[in-house]
Structure 1
Amino acid sequence: MRIGVYPGTFDPITLGHMDIIARAARLVDRLVVGVTTNASKSPMFSVEERMAMVERETATIDAAIKVVAFDSLLMDFAERQGASVIVRGLRAVADFEYEYQMAGMNQQINDRVETVFLMADVALQPIASKLVKEIAMYGGPIGRFVTASVADEVAARVERLGRRGE
């Protein structure tokens, strides 16, 4: 059985993430979506909230998808999941430079796991969770970047946090 891992913070999960998940799920027998914490990204949602969001949003994808939290080296997580593939989404050249370096480091740590890059759909390439959060914090529309249910969750969180620009 070919198992792939698609890691990320998913804070929040975007249509770009969903595109990569759906396409990656067709390449493996089981896709593990690894939800991790990156404190430098100032998470809006807790790991548990992000996991619930990812589980809900991926439930309609007809594939074996498992959502798992992790807080370790990616290669250790991949090994624990029995993965032979790490899936990474690319939006732009800047993403490639960073991801290329990470893939090289990861290969040095565990050469039994390959990294596969998937280009984001052209219409979804500009979408980044960080920008979605920023737009939402200033009261802008995010419905073109996330599903309606995610937009509602983000709006509720922004309301609780207090919107900027007022």
Structure 2
Amino acid sequence: MPEKVALYAGSFDPITNGHLDIIRRASKVFDKVIIAVMTNTTKKYLFTYGEKEDLINSQVANLPNVKVIDGKNRLTVDLANELKVDVLIRSMRNTNDFIYESGVSQINHLQDRNIETLYLLSDPKYANISSSMIKEIITFGGNVSQLVAPEVENKLKQKIKGIH
């Protein structure tokens, strides 16, 4: 039986506990999960691709079937084809995500009809977490300890301190 492999692509700036929950759950369903740090041209990043990869790797070190790669300046479908992956993992927190993710899925399917998208619903405790919100909270000295891992929180504080 062929190995079941999925691709979870995102900007992960930074990786949140919500992302980690999706990764852990996907790693139970698939033989291998590839996390791709991608480019989203609508976002302004705090971390470099390398920094994001390092942060993600530190958080998934206990998941032997998870691999982190750089997907910078690539279409997700092209990367999936290169990796010979036909399942994309996407997460949904709320109805806004449903609307957005439905459009992404349709565009990906137009690019390659063999690509399927598997949606994992966020755990309700992570349903309102976004990387943008976390950056905003940390910028103004708020507490994000329940939203990101301690290492991620420390890196966020260092980055924000360097900017201000």
TM-score (normalizing by structure 1): 0.94
SS in 1 for 2:91: strand
Question: Which runs of no fewer than 5 residues in structure 1 stay unpaired?
Answer: none
Deviation at 1:91, TM superposition (A): 0.3
Percent pairwise identity:
30
Q: How many residues align?
A: 161
* Residue 10 (structure 1) aligns with: 12
For residues 41 and 77 of structure 2, the distance between their equivalents in structure 1, rounded to whole angstroms, comes to: 19
Structure-2 residue corresponding to 1:134: 136
| Alignment of 1:99 onto 2:101 | yes
Q: Contact 1:41–1:130 at 8 Å: present in 2 too?
A: no
How far apart are the structure 2 equivalents of 1:39 and 1:45?
14
Deviation (angstroms), 1:109: 1.0
Instruction: Provide the residue aligned with 1:47 in structure 2.
Output: 49
Amino acid at match of 1:65: V
**Structure 1 vs Structure 2 CA RMSD:** 0.9
Residue in 2 that maps onto 1:67:
68
Note the C-alpha offset of 1:34.
Answer: 0.5
Q: Is the 8 A contact 1:2 1:84 kept in 2?
A: no
CA contact (8 A) 1:35 1:67 kept: yes
Aligned to 1:150: 152
Equivalent residue in structure 1 for 2:79, among 77, 80, 93: 77
Which 4+ runs in 1 deviate beyond 6 A? Answer: none
TM-score (norm 2): 0.95
